[in-house]
Amino acid sequence: MQKVFIDNENFLHYYFTMNENYWKNKWSKEQIKVILLEQAHNFWQLDTGIERDQLAVVERSLGSPHAVIISGLRRAGKSTLLSQMAHKLGEDNYYYLNFEDERFLDFSVDEANYLYQVLVEVFGERNIFILDEIQNVTGWERFVRRFMDMGFKFFITGSNASLLSRELGSRLTGRYLPIELFPFSFKEFTKFKNYHIPDIPPLTTLEQAKLERYLGEYLQLGGLPEPLKYPGLPLHRTLYDDVLYRDIATRYHIEEVRALKELGYYLISNPASHISFNKLKENLKLGSVNTVKNYVEYLKNSWLIFIVNVFDYSVKRQQIAPKIIYFIDTGLVNSIGFQFSPNTGRLMENLVFLGLRRNTDNIYYYAADSGYEVDFYLPETRQLIQVAQNINQTQTMEREIRALVEAMETLQLDEALVLSESSQPLLQIDNKTIKFQAISDWLLA
């Protein structure tokens, strides 16, 4: 029999080194208690800001056994939304853990039982966990699944830097409720600005003028909470760089970020524009088409952009036809992108897309055989929507109406909608009705 010799000195060194790396061995129980108390106190003291529209959705999920997973662009307010939910629950009814805290570095899922024991010693028995940045714990899903089986409720956020909501959810084998959090809607923006929208329509001329002024501000500033709160700081740039470097370059191990930066800068300078992967490769000298596709997908997965396909019953045509790119926030576009002149029309189209996307991801654009296009088609509700900055110009009006009528005939629809700067009377064309509505009114509705 062959003998196996163990180098006792090296073995003991390895053993104790590995044990030193355990999180709980770095801190005494009293120190861990201090960490937990500090986190709980700081979380409860967070400025909850204006009540988010999605809070009602989070509240409705409280009675279900599913884990609630809140996802979205970084700094869009996920932790604040959790804080608002916590204030509904009451300070003594949940455990809060923030794994972004550097003091949780090297925390292992194998230490979850020990952490829970300390939580009970500090706060008593509770059955709700609120977890921030859980992706920093490798294998976290085993802990969450096990505690869910014991009847615990979880509210979770994950940073896009290394884990997306779709990955969070798949690890819970369907036992989750995904909630998307966007920057402020126009309604939330007016709340932030302390502007109370009159409840009784129609608005007076003065009230409508105020509303349009706030829409102009919203178009320019966007809806990200911190840049709105601290307008003198370059927070859009910081956020954008974090997405490119931390959420994309680091996560996907991109060593040469020049191509990624050039692609991102080109796209953010051309919101609501058609793109072709082949043309992007050629114009920006970005290597292969697959590289371009991958980078666009990374930008999409980080919640920075959205991709809209042409509507067609042929999936192949959808795939090969040009895409249209929209951005998560017009404030980011204005701060980061290059514009030699105001790009109001495309930014308005971007706002309308975001208004639609808050309710559905089944959004297309429609291309008629003549070459005319309709900005949005929603097959689930069979809605055609055209966005036009100024329909008072005859040429613009004729172009937008012609595209709509052609699409209505092909899709056998009787109604369509035009969104612009102001409302107009109905238009009847060959038993087809085209409605006109101000974008500000539509966004609020």
**Average of per-residue pLDDT values in the chain:** 89
Q: Is the pLDDT of residue 341 over 90?
A: no
Predicted local confidence at residue 133, as pLDDT: 82
Interval 399-408: pLDDT, tens:
889 999 999 9
Kindly state whether residues 252 and 395 are assigned to the same domain.
yes
In a domain, residue 206? The reply is: no
Predicted local confidence at residue 395, as pLDDT: 75
Residue found under tokens 């690890």: 171
Q: What is the CATH number of the domain that holds 358?
A: 1.10.10.10
Q: Is the pLDDT of residue 199 over 60?
A: yes
Kindly state whether residues 245 and 373 are assigned to the same domain.
yes
- Per the structure, the count of domains in the chain is 2
Average pLDDT over residues 97-114: 92
Query: At what angle are helices 140-149 and 112-123 packed, to 10 degrees?
Result: 60
- Band (pLDDT 50/70/90 cuts) for residue 173 is confident
Which residue type is seen at 320? I
Q: Is the pLDDT of residue 162 over 80?
A: no
Q: Is the pLDDT of residue 163 over 70?
A: no
Which of 369, 364, 360, 350 has the alpha carbon at shortest distance from 407? 369
Kindly state whether residues 302 and 436 are assigned to the same domain.
yes
More confident residue, 191 or 167: 191
**Percent of the residues in the chain that have a pLDDT greater than 90, as a whole number:** 70
Q: Is the pLDDT of residue 125 over 90?
A: yes
Chain centre to alpha carbon of residue 419: 24
**Percent of the residues in the chain that have a pLDDT greater than 70, as a whole number:** 92
Whether residue 341 contacts residue 286, with contact meaning beta carbons closer than 8 Å, is answered with no
Kindly state whether residues 225 and 164 are assigned to the same domain.
no
Q: Is the pLDDT of residue 2 over 80?
A: no
- Band (pLDDT 50/70/90 cuts) for residue 91 is very high
Interval 12-48: pLDDT, tens:
443 344 445 689 899 999 999 999 999 999 999 999 9
In a domain, residue 10? The reply is: no
Predicted local confidence at residue 394, as pLDDT: 73
Window from 117-121, 205-209, 258-262, 374-378 with minimum mean pLDDT: 205-209
Interval 397-443: pLDDT, tens:
888 899 999 999 999 999 999 999 888 889 999 899 999 999 999 99
Kindly state whether residues 25 and 165 are assigned to the same domain.
yes
Predicted local confidence at residue 377, as pLDDT: 98
Exposure b/e, 371-385, CB count within 10 A at least 16 = b: ebbbbbbbeeeeebb
Respond yes or no on whether the N-terminal peptide bond of residue 231 is cis (omega within 30° of 0). no
Q: Tell me which of 180, 208, 231 is where a domain ends.
A: 180
Whether residue 195 contacts residue 85, with contact meaning beta carbons closer than 8 Å, is answered with no
Predicted local confidence at residue 232, as pLDDT: 93
- Band (pLDDT 50/70/90 cuts) for residue 169 is low
Kindly state whether residues 106 and 172 are assigned to the same domain.
yes
Query: How many CA atoms lie less than 13 Å away from 47 in the CB half-sphere?
Result: 5
Q: Tell me which of 150, 180, 210 is where a domain ends.
A: 180
Predicted local confidence at residue 13, as pLDDT: 42
In a domain, residue 341? The reply is: yes
- Band (pLDDT 50/70/90 cuts) for residue 5 is very low
Kindly state whether residues 360 and 423 are assigned to the same domain.
yes
Considering just the CA atoms, what is the radius of gyration of the chain in Å?
Answer: 26
In a domain, residue 202? The reply is: no
In a domain, residue 39? The reply is: yes
Q: Tell me which of 180, 211, 238 is where a domain ends.
A: 180
- Domain residues for the domain of 125 are 17-180
| Pairing status of strand 153-157 against strand 128-132 | parallel
Kindly state whether residues 146 and 258 are assigned to the same domain.
no
Kindly state whether residues 239 and 143 are assigned to the same domain.
no
Interval 226-284: pLDDT, tens:
999 999 999 999 999 999 998 899 888 998 899 999 999 999 999 999 999 999 999 88
Kindly state whether residues 157 and 298 are assigned to the same domain.
no
DSSP-derived 3-state class of residue 94: coil
Kindly state whether residues 142 and 39 are assigned to the same domain.
yes
Q: What is the CATH number of the domain that holds 78?
A: 3.40.50.300
Which of 106, 128, 105 has the alpha carbon at shortest distance from 116? 128
Kindly state whether residues 148 and 227 are assigned to the same domain.
no
Query: How many CA atoms lie less than 13 Å away from 221 in the CB half-sphere?
Result: 24
In a domain, residue 163? The reply is: yes
